Amino acid sequence: MAPRLDFSNFWAKDTNKGTPVVVTMENPNFSVVEIDGPDAAFRPVDKSRGKNAKQVTWVLLLKVHRAVSCISWLATIFWALLGTIKKRLIYREGVAMESGKLGKQKLLFTVIRVFLVTSLAILAFEVVAYFKGWHYFRNPNLHIPGTSDIQSLLHMVYVAWLTFRADYIAPAIQALSKFCVVLFLIQSIDRMILSVGCLWIKFKKIKPRIDWDSLKSDDVEKSGYEYPMVLIQIPMCNEKEVYEQSISAVCQIDWPKERLLIQVLDDSDDESIQWLIKTEVANWSQRGINIIYQHRVVRTGYKAGNLKSAMSCDYVKDYEFVAIFDADFQPNPDFLKQTVPHFKDNPELGLVQARWAFVNKDENLLTRLQNVNLCFHFEVEQQVNGVFLNFFGFNGTAGVWRIKALEESGGWLERTTVEDMDIAVRAHLNGWKFIYLNDVKVLCEVPESYEAYRKQQHRWHSGPMQLFRLCLPAIITSKITAWKKANLILLFFLLRKLILPFYSFTLFCIILPLTMFVPEAELPAWVICYVPVFMSFLNILPSPKSFPFIVPYLLFENTMSVTKFNAMVSGLFQLGSSYEWVITKKTGRSSESDLLAAAERESKMVNQLQVHRGASESELSELNRIMEQKEVAPKPIKKANKIYRKELALAFLLLTASVRSLLSAQGVHFYFLLFQGVTFLLVGLDLIGEQMS
């Protein structure tokens, strides 16, 4: 029965006033008198007795006006509150926030808004149900469904879902999965061909060779003519952790001093770091090293702009070759003697690239997994392409360029974040050849934190797609052979830079988890198990010590495809994130070159006084202040580990779907699969959180 809202008593004015009184007398001679109200003589006069209909109408209108004014006032306050929330929290007007926190805040506010809208909808439904009388279970018109009704309804919904899933969802997933499987097989064949080529190089002992006798001479004057003029560039930006060891390693390179010039290209925006680097450069200059310091006021074009600015100096025309080392690279003293002689009697050679070696490859599980990928890249991809094609992507560092090749190819351009790959492609289109030296290794670091590694991978995968859009017309219209054009377009860009992240993300991160909920589109076991394991086995071959990490490597690479796919899309469609350049965080790990420079650090403090004598008083005070801050600086506090739930959850879902697909025929219980997934996850991916920060 619905409630009755009667407001007649509220409007009536002729209600009795006062409290009824009952008087009982103990004396039986008196009777009981019951007084219902005050006597007429004491009853107040009813003031509404003389009102007419017009007065009553005005009173009602006045009450309605007050009610409408109250409602309007409440609505105005509520609307102003919503407007303030919209300005302050949604559009961030008057609020300064970091860009990194902005996305998380938007997601949080979206969740809050959805919750509020849902709450209001539920409240409106409750009000309607109350006035309809649905809350009163004794209402004869109210039908309460029983258990059988609910079960039949759920059964109908489930049958409808099965029909829709089998007729519409499963065919679409099957078609997409077949397309991705074809791409997967093509990329696997390419990996196998590269691996076979690497084995052939090892078997035949094919490698570039030089004539060492051309550099051997006891005559000092004659040796001066044997050694060409070499320029070494060290681009850096706020590299406080590694600037000292990098400059020290480069200054110890064995090459005639009069034939060598070192450029320290500093883009740091921190004045304290600038003074530290200046001091280091001045220290080595006092020791007789030809080294100069160059700083840009406006940091445009990032690394490409820095190198372009350095190559525009007038004295560069006196040099024939330029070697480039990033701030964390530490070459051996014989680096130039192992690379520059390859240019002799080879006028078509434009680049000699050395291999990277990592001082912190065993620091944690993340560095070990990166070592697996990079070892395959240098040992297999770079070496095979260098031997059979004389072309590969320049790695941006640990390489020696012929300056003439740089100038004829257009020099450094600031149009992408992969300036190294850009200049390599343009030099290849101009007919220059490359040589890769797998035996010449330069020590460097790999990112030790997941956040730094993810940002690095985003730049490495968004830049090539951005470059592909820019270089495609030039590749088609170039004068190189059709085979080289096909290699650039189909293999170098499409297969290894676009298809790889696309099928890896789509097949293993979307289709495979969906097979848990759509069994009609189940993938075969050889796609989700045998071929990926075999490909992982091939990738680990160049680094055999990494075999115990094959399971974490397989899972981690599949989950990292989310980041790589996102970067590929942003570069292909010219999104804003494709222009982001985040410097990879360095830690300054010790190396062999550091050990060589350790004996010289004691004399450095003595020579520091000689450096300061040539400085002004303001420079002396600034240097003393910086050195004091450096001495009393507290040790950095280790940050708390940060588990990236998205990647770990995706890896867990991927592993569970894989095991389920493999063992579903044997009827294994789902909870057993869940236990297996948790076990492998703890053994493999959870170790990544040791150094995440």
Residues 178 and 273 in one domain: no
pLDDT per residue as tens digits for the range 181-220:
999 999 999 999 999 999 999 999 999 988 665 555 444 4
C-beta contacts of 678-681 below 8 A and 24+ residues apart? 678/652, 680/551, 680/555, 680/655, 681/648, 681/651, 681/652, 681/655
Half-sphere exposure of 412 (CA within 13 A, CB side): 24
pLDDT per residue as tens digits for the range 303-361:
899 999 999 999 999 999 999 999 889 999 999 999 999 999 899 999 999 999 999 88
Q: Is residue 38 part of a domain?
A: no
Of 423, 446, 469, the residue at which a domain comes to its end is 446
Q: Is residue 626 part of a domain?
A: no
Q: Which of 263-267, 285-289, 569-573 bottoms out in mean pLDDT, i.e. has the lowest? A: 569-573
Q: Is residue 111 part of a domain?
A: no
Query: Which range, 399-408, 445-454, 621-630, is most confident?
Result: 399-408
Residues 477 and 442 in one domain: no
pLDDT of residue 62: 78
Is 267 marked active-site? Answer: yes
Residues 412 and 538 in one domain: no
Side chain identity, residue 161: W
Side chain identity, residue 202: K
Residues 408 and 337 in one domain: yes
pLDDT of residue 95: 43
Residues 384 and 493 in one domain: no
Which pLDDT band, with edges at 50, 70 and 90, does 411 fall under?
Answer: very high
Catalytic residue among 267, 326, 422, 594: 267
Query: Pairing between strand 433-444 and 349-358?
Result: parallel
Which pLDDT band, with edges at 50, 70 and 90, does 224 fall under?
Answer: very low
Residues 300 and 238 in one domain: yes
Catalytic residue among 266, 326, 328, 420: 420
pLDDT of residue 133: 66
pLDDT per residue as tens digits for the range 239-261:
888 889 899 999 999 999 999 99
The predicted model scores a pTM of: 0.69
Instruction: Count the domains in the chain.
Output: 2
Give the separation between CA 512 and CA 109, rounded to whole angstroms: 32
pLDDT of residue 216: 55
What percent of the chain is modeled with pLDDT above 70?
A: 67
Domain that holds residue 278: 230-446
pLDDT of residue 13: 45
pLDDT of residue 290: 95
pLDDT per residue as tens digits for the range 493-538:
999 999 999 998 898 888 888 887 888 888 888 888 888 888 888 9
pLDDT of residue 686: 41
Q: Is residue 604 part of a domain?
A: no
463 vs 663, residue with greater confidence: 463
pLDDT per residue as tens digits for the range 430-449:
999 999 999 999 999 998 88
Of 416, 446, 476, the residue at which a domain comes to its end is 446
pLDDT of residue 114: 80
Give the separation between CA 293 and CA 344, rounded to whole angstroms: 30
User: Taking residues 370-384, what's their average pLDDT?
Assistant: 94
pLDDT of residue 393: 92
Q: How far is CA 446 from CA 359, 362, 390, 453, in A?
A: 8, 10, 27, 8
User: Taking residues 99-124, what's their average pLDDT?
Assistant: 69
User: Taking residues 387-391, what's their average pLDDT?
Assistant: 93
Residues 183 and 252 in one domain: no
Q: What is the DSSP letter of 234?
A: E
Query: Which range, 84-88, 93-97, 301-305, 334-338, is most confident?
Result: 334-338
Q: Is residue 154 part of a domain?
A: yes
Which pLDDT band, with edges at 50, 70 and 90, does 608 fall under?
Answer: very low
pLDDT of residue 265: 94
Residues 363 and 430 in one domain: yes
Is 420 marked active-site? Answer: yes
Of 446, 470, 494, the residue at which a domain comes to its end is 446
